[in-house]
Structure 1
Amino acid sequence: MSESAQRHSLSRPGDAVDSAAERLDRFLAYLATDAVDGASSDPDALFTPEQAAGLLQIPTRTLQEKLAAGIWPHVRLGKHYRLSRTDVRAIVQQCHVGGGVKRPRRTYD
């Protein structure tokens, strides 16, 4: 693992005492530095779904489905989705705290 990856890793030895907020802040600092090629460190910069999915380490299709359903925060520019750093933070917090949105169970009567 590279020095940069170790420095920004979320699961380093000794991190057991870190709070969820500290881990989230470290992750977002990682997002702001070298996670996205060509992305500016501007706090108002917007990510494409492909960039945001790469940051969140989920399939782009999954992200697009959640955005289209209005489950996760985003900005819509015409027919294009964009996500701010605040949106990515909200997605991580929502999934970390509540485990995402739970679907109702089907009942077969």
Structure 2
Amino acid sequence: MASSVPLGHPSFLEDAQPVSASVTKAPGHAHTYAGTQPYTAARSLRADEIPRLLQDFRAGARNAMKAGFDGIQLHASNGYLIDQFCGTALTSGATPTEGRSKTGFACCAK
């Protein structure tokens, strides 16, 4: 699964490009295993990628519960991927998934 800006960096993603609600680049530098490196530009998450991402969230929750946890907590604020879709700061509407405020992850609660 890809990670989101501002926290994603290719060094944590098997050199894959981070994804975001919009094409964007976080300011500053990421703290990586190779030292401090500038963030790289994230690509906009495609609409056809959302179901897989939701499936990954569901699978993670199921795995945690199988391991004995009572539940999970999703980080959905402060620039994490879900927050990017629910907010307006990163949803410009320029691509099919941008501007999908809340709709992209509405089925997370299901």
Normalised to the residue count of structure 2, the TM-score between the two structures is 0.24
Normalised to the residue count of structure 1, the TM-score between the two structures is 0.25
Which has the bigger relative contact order, CA under 8 A and spacing at least 6?
Answer: 2
The structure carrying a bigger helix percent of its residues is 1
Q: Between Structure 1 and Structure 2, whose CA radius of gyration is higher?
A: 1
